[in-house]
Amino acid sequence: MDLFRLENLSFAYPKAEKKALDGISLSIKIGEFIAVAGQSGCGKTTLLRMLKRELTPHGEKSGEIFYCGTELADLDARAAAGEIGFVMQNPESQTVTDKVWQELSFGLENLGLETASIRLRVGEMAAFFGISSWFRKNTAELSGGQKQLLNLASVLAMRPKVLILDEATAQLDPVAASDFITTLQKLNRDLGLTVILAEHRLEEIFPIADKVLILEQGRKAVFAAPREAAPQLTAQNPKHPMRAALPCAVRIFSGLSVQDICPLTVKEGRDFLSRHFRAQTPPPAPPYTHNEEVVLELKEAWFRYARELPDVMRGMNLRVYEGELFCVLGENGSGKTTMLNVLAGLDKAYRGTVKIRGKKLREYKGNELYRRNLALLPQNPQTVFLKTRVRDDLQEICKTMGDDSEKTVQSIEEITAQLGIAHLLEQHPYDLSGGEQQKCALAKILLLRPKILLLDEPTKGLDAFAKQSLAAILKTLNAQGITVLMVTHDVEFAAENADRCALFFDGEILAQATPRRFFAENNFYTTAANRIARHLFENAVTCEEVIELCKQNKREKA
């Protein structure tokens, strides 16, 4: 039976030149796991919000949406609220109460359930999700991963028939994201819950989905089973931008001329390589060289938010050199963002030394630290915007930099062309998708023309093609002598683009090394390519490296 049926669904936002959704027709059956993918701004979030009546955006709609045979607009209010669950991208935006136990019971109270029923459901959810140990905590004290898990539990306490998730793993570290996805798979498999998940990270989603929906400029490009989706995408366009978003096993298979069944998982990828290719130990990488000037330095730095609270930074030591792209990875809540805030002067270390370009942080006066010197892109891009149009925000920054009107126009044209956001200039920043907001916020920061760039999760919400554009921009900045310190959960991006990587753990920076050495020595904080190929090619950490080594070591046919 169809849970959702869409018939020629189209939607346009007010004053928008193009439709956000254009003629989409499809059916989603009860119990299916649907993965929704596509480039930033392709319509994923709009489509998901159209399925949740209370979140439907304002604009012009045509076509029909049916839920269990009833037109969505005619659905009973209680069914619409309780049967269709929705988990947003930003956990902060969905948390409405001060205490964990209150958050779990909030939706149930609004449905008018009796106290005994509420307590039973809340207890069940807390036990199932392992929330018992932080059941009475303040929601403000939770890590990003805990908040997202709490949001999921709060929605599931209402016993929905379908769970809709809009890039719910975007702010989670690799281990937390994997656990979250495993939970979704268990809910789908063991409870028969229908799951519709929009996601950029397809590595773990692709293999467990029943169908993959790929959107392109608001249209349905592909809607098929995972093994069929990749060939269909390639048949439409051999150089399709979404190819870079496919699981590593699929990309490796697509890059080799081998007759076999396309692998989807790490296990299938390992078996595929073992059947067709010989092992080889790659030659050692050349020693890493860097500029001698240290531009960011932490020396025995300690920080905590209050005297009675534990230390977040514990005698931290870090050196980042001029023109370097340095990536820091680590679990949610470990203190990576705090480290950036300390370096940016937003938080003050109570012990130790913080130096920017060889000068102690406390010696910088006025706006000397920030004017054409250091800039920070925060994790939440919405905090960057002050105006009602993207163009106005960018113009304000140029005005702050003292640019005349001609220079302002030129700077905005150049940066928007680089990031592919010229078509967003007239829109309100809050009307944009998460990925589009991230790119516009980055444009605003780059217009400050900093010599040191601190980035907090800059690839969050970005599609694979946009990440490639970001990588090109960062490499250009590095070539100009601009230093980039980046906190990220995106191990693939770090492996492909960083000069050095490090792990943040227990208030310290551990294991600073080049990507090849760093990721080859890890089991969890490593790339899918490394997990697939390490039994044959020990130090290969990117799909491109694996493909090249495979071409050199193909087994001879018997």
Structural domains for the chain: 2-240 (3.40.50.300), 247-288+527-558 (no CATH), 294-526 (3.40.50.300)
CB 273 within 8 A of CB 533: yes
Nearest Cα to Cα of residue 201 among 219, 181, 216, 185: 181
Can you give the pLDDT at residue 128?
Answer: 84
Antiparallel, parallel or unpaired: β 211-216 and 33-37: parallel
Can you give the pLDDT at residue 351?
Answer: 94
CA distance 301 to 315: 5
CA distance 400 to 421: 21
CA distance 547 to 349: 46
List the structure tokens of 444: 């605003």
Nearest Cα to Cα of residue 504 among 327, 348, 297: 327
- Give bridge partners of residue 165 from the DSSP assignment: 87, 197
Neighbours of 295 (CB within 10 A): 23
Nearest Cα to Cα of residue 423 among 16, 4, 10: 16
3-state secondary structure of 20: coil
CA distance 219 to 20: 9
3-state secondary structure of 399: helix
CB 356 within 8 A of CB 343: yes
Can you give the pLDDT at residue 531?
Answer: 93
Can you give the pLDDT at residue 451?
Answer: 93
pTM: 0.82
Length of the chain as a residue count? 558
Per residue of the chain (558 residues), give pLDDT as tens: 789 999 999 999 887 778 999 999 999 999 999 999 988 788 999 999 999 999 999 899 999 999 999 999 999 888 888 899 999 877 777 888 999 999 999 989 988 889 999 999 999 888 888 888 889 889 888 877 788 888 888 998 999 999 999 988 877 777 778 888 888 999 999 889 999 999 887 888 989 999 999 999 899 999 999 988 888 887 777 777 788 888 999 999 988 888 888 899 999 999 999 999 999 876 777 788 888 899 999 999 999 998 888 999 999 999 999 999 999 998 877 889 999 999 999 999 999 999 999 999 989 988 888 888 999 999 888 889 999 999 999 999 998 888 898 999 999 999 998 888 998 999 899 888 777 888 899 999 999 889 999 999 898 878 888 888 889 889 988 998 999 999 998 999 999 999 999 999 989 998 889 998 899 888 878 899 999 999 999 889 999 999 999 999 887 664
Q: How many CA atoms lie within 13 A of 557 on its CB side?
A: 2
Can you give the pLDDT at residue 558?
Answer: 47
